Amino acid sequence: MFKENENIKIWQRLVSSSTGAIVTSIIVTPLDVIKIRMQAQSKPISSGDCFIYCNGLMDHLCQYVNGNNKQFSNAQWYKKPLKFTNTFDALQKVVKTEGVLSLWSGLSPTLILAVPQVVIYYTLNDWLKYATGYENYKLATSQHSLSVDHINFNQKDLLPPLCGTIARFVAQTTIAPLELLRTKMQSKKLSYFEIKNITSSAIQQGGFSVLWRGLGPTMWRDLPYSIALWSIYDYLKRRHLINRDCCIEEYFVPYNLIILYSACGAVVAGIISHPFDVTKTHRQIELGNAILHNTKITSSTWKYLRTLRKTNGFSSLFSGFNPRILRVVIATTTMITIFETIKKAFIKFNTENH
C-alpha cells in the first residue's frame, strides 16, 4: 500500500526544502529591494542605523551605511540616487539605470541564513507529521475507513499546527545566534573568519543567552503564523483527499489546489500575525541599533504593542499590510508548491525503484 512520506529519505526532504528556499528567495527578493529603495527615498535612514530586509522567507537586520564607504561597497544598492513616484516607476528606473541584476541586490548574504532556516523548518515539519502518525491518519481518511465525525474533524487535525510550531521554534532558535553575530560582524567590519572571537566576546559580556537576544518578538509573530498556516493548509488538503482513491497519482493534491490551499492559509495567517509583525519590525530595528550602539531596548513585546496602539492608534498595528500580505502569499505558495513537487518526484522514484 502506498503511503505518502513512507519511503522518502531525510536527504530528499532536505533537497526539496533547500531548492524551494533558493527559488523563493530569487522570486521574492525584487519586491523587497524596491520597497527598501522607496523607503530610503521617503524616509532617509541615518548612517549606522538599521533597517529590515526581507526575502519572503525570513527577515534580516541590515546596517545603513554611507554610500561612499568603500568597505561597504556590497551594501550600496539601497542608497543609489534615483527618484521614484511609485512601485512600477521604481521597478522601471532600477532596471533601466542599474540593470536587471540590481533587483537581486543583497541576495547572496541573505541566502546564507535563509536556506538553513527554511531547510530546518520544512524538513522537520514534514518529518514530524509522518512521525506523529498524521500521514497515516490522512490516508485512512481518504480510504473512508474513519467515521463521519472523524472525517469532519479529529484530534489528529491538531498535529499539523503542533508540528509546524515545533519546527518553527527549532529553526528560529538555531538561526537566531547566527543572525545576531552577522549584525555584529557587519557593524565592526569583521570577516567571517573572526566569528570565533565575536562569539567569545558576546558570551563573556552577556552569557550564552545573549546569542538569542531578540528572539521573543520573532516567536510572537512566527508561531501564530505557523499555527494558522498549517491548520488551514493541511485540513483543506485532507478534505480534498476524502473523495480520492489512494493510488500514487490520485493521492497527491493537484498543483492548482496546493497553490490555492497554501494561499488561503497564508492570507489568514498573515492577518492574524500582522500586528506582531509590525511590533517585531520596530523592536528588531531597535535591537539592531542597541547592538551596534550599545543602547538599551524596551521590555516586552506586549508592552510595545500596547504603546504602539496607544500612541498611533489601532490602525498602526496594520501598517504595511498590503505589501506584506502580497509578499507572504507569493513566498508561501512558491515554497510549498516547490517542496511538494520535488517531494512527490522523490516518492514516485522511490516507489518505482523499490
3-state class (DSSP) for residue 246: coil
- Residue 206: half-sphere exposure toward Cβ, Cα within 13 Å: 10
What class has domain 10-352? mainly alpha
Phi and psi at 52, nearest 5°, equal -95, 130
pTM of the complete model: 0.78
Phi and psi at 53, nearest 5°, equal -115, 125
Which residues on adjacent β-strands are paired with residue 54?
59
pLDDT attached to residue 20:
94
pLDDT attached to residue 269:
95
Phi and psi at 350, nearest 5°, equal -65, -40
pLDDT attached to residue 144:
56
The DSSP annotation for 93-154 comes to: HHHHHH-GGGGGTTHHHHHHHHHHHHHHHHHHHHHHHHHTTHHHHHHHHHTT-S-HHHHH--
Cell of 101: 541584476
Cβ proximity of 4 and 105 under 8 Å: no
Residue spans of the domains in the chain: they are 10-352
- Residues 39/44/49/51 CA torsion (nearest 10 deg): 0
Helix (H) or strand (E) run with residue 54 in it: strand 50-54
Q: What is the mean pLDDT of each run of 10 residues along the chain (354 residues)?
A: 63 95 87 67 54 59 51 47 71 81 71 84 95 77 54 80 97 82 55 64 72 79 94 90 56 88 96 82 61 58 72 73 85 95 91 80
pLDDT attached to residue 69:
45
pLDDT attached to residue 249:
46
Q: Which residue has the cell 503564523?
A: 225
Helix (H) or strand (E) run with residue 50 in it: strand 50-54
Q: Which residue has the cell 541584476?
A: 101
3-state class (DSSP) for residue 52: strand
User: Which has the closest alpha carbon to 316: 277, 272, 285, 275?
Assistant: 275
Rounded Cα gap, residues 38 and 29, in angstroms = 14
pLDDT attached to residue 48:
54
pLDDT attached to residue 310:
76
If DSSP states are collapsed to H, E and C, what string results for 276-317?
HHHHHHHHHHHHHHHHHHCCCCCCCHHHHHHHHHHHHCHHHH
**Cα 70 versus chain centre, distance:** 31
pLDDT attached to residue 18:
94
